[in-house]
Structure 1
Amino acid sequence: MSARREGRELALQALYSKDLVPQDANATLKRIIESFAEGEEPTLEVHSKAFAFASELVSGVVANITAIDEQIAAKSKHWSMSRMARVDLNILRLAVYELLFRSDIPKNVTMNEAIEVAKKFGAEDSAAFVNGILDEIAAGVTDKE
């Protein structure tokens, strides 16, 4: 698994946990990272890159949550955010953060990664749901070079 995919998965876990028990998402991420490395001899280079990327994502989502949630709410036809599965919502938050605020990540990479993470962590229809909303949001985003 790539360091960035691992980072996205760690960030998802931290944001999901924050939704369940309101708390500082960065502190939650730190606990997840600490427990992740317990009892295993990690490939330090890959894990440290993943941890750093996860931290960037969590901090970015938290700092821009209002703008991110406004985009999701505007493009999710027939779905209020309160009805969305928490996993799907947080996958969307991560992807929308990347689309809007990370010029170093191409649009197609963000969308593909979000779909793959949704397949792994979401319900059977999560990938299609995430893809549909991200297509709408990405249509208004200039591709990054």
Structure 2
Amino acid sequence: MYHQTRRNARKYIIQALYTWEISKNNILDIKNQYLKKMNKKIVDIKYFHELMTKVINNHEKLDQKIKKCLHIKMQKIGQIEKAILRLSFYELYNRKDIPYKVSINESIELAKLFGSNNSYKFINGVLQNAKDNIKNIKT
């Protein structure tokens, strides 16, 4: 159940990050909008709060790390893919309690759910590049 509540939190995080990227509305308003939709029994609310805050507050640093693993310009990446990569890079670099394989798999599943047909392949490739560059990654 614990893993499912995290997975559900990630789904809402991606939607909220996408909303923020498109609208640039106040992050608290966006968080509250999504919190109203959530069934608190099946979503890890604490995880949602933490990652929304951390990813938004560190999006420029995360984007710099993402750019180092890309073969295309950041501007050419779709907004959903950008949201997934930001979440993934935050987890890979900052959440050592989450094995990198779990983070990468979750990101691929998010890309299959929210992205275009081949988004998951793109996300997987970028995250494999990132994994090779991150020291002390927990396996």
TM-score higher than 0.5:
yes
Deviation, structure 1 residue 24: 2.4
- Among the aligned pairs, what percent are the same residue? 30
Measured against aligned partners, the alpha-carbon deviations of 1:4-24 in whole angstroms (never above 9, x if no partner) come to 110001111111001110122
Aligned pair count reads 136
Unpaired segments ≥5 residues, structure 1:
none
Counterparts of residues 59-98 of structure 1 (less than 5 Å): 59-77=53-71, 79-98=72-91
Q: Secondary structure at the match of 1:128?
A: helix
TM-score (norm 1): 0.87
Equivalent of residue 46 in structure 1, options 39, 42, 46: 42
Q: Distance in 1 between matches of 2:137 and 2:80?
A: 26
Q: What is the correspondence of 1:90-129 to structure 2 with a 5 Å cutoff? A: 90-129=83-122
Deviation at 1:144, TM superposition (A): 2.1
Does structure 2 retain, via aligned residues, the 8 Å contact 1:115–1:131?
yes
TM-score, normalised on structure 2? 0.91
Give the gaps of 5 or more residues in structure 2: none
Contact persistence 1:14–1:26 (CA under 8 A): no
CA offset at residue 109 of structure 1?
0.5
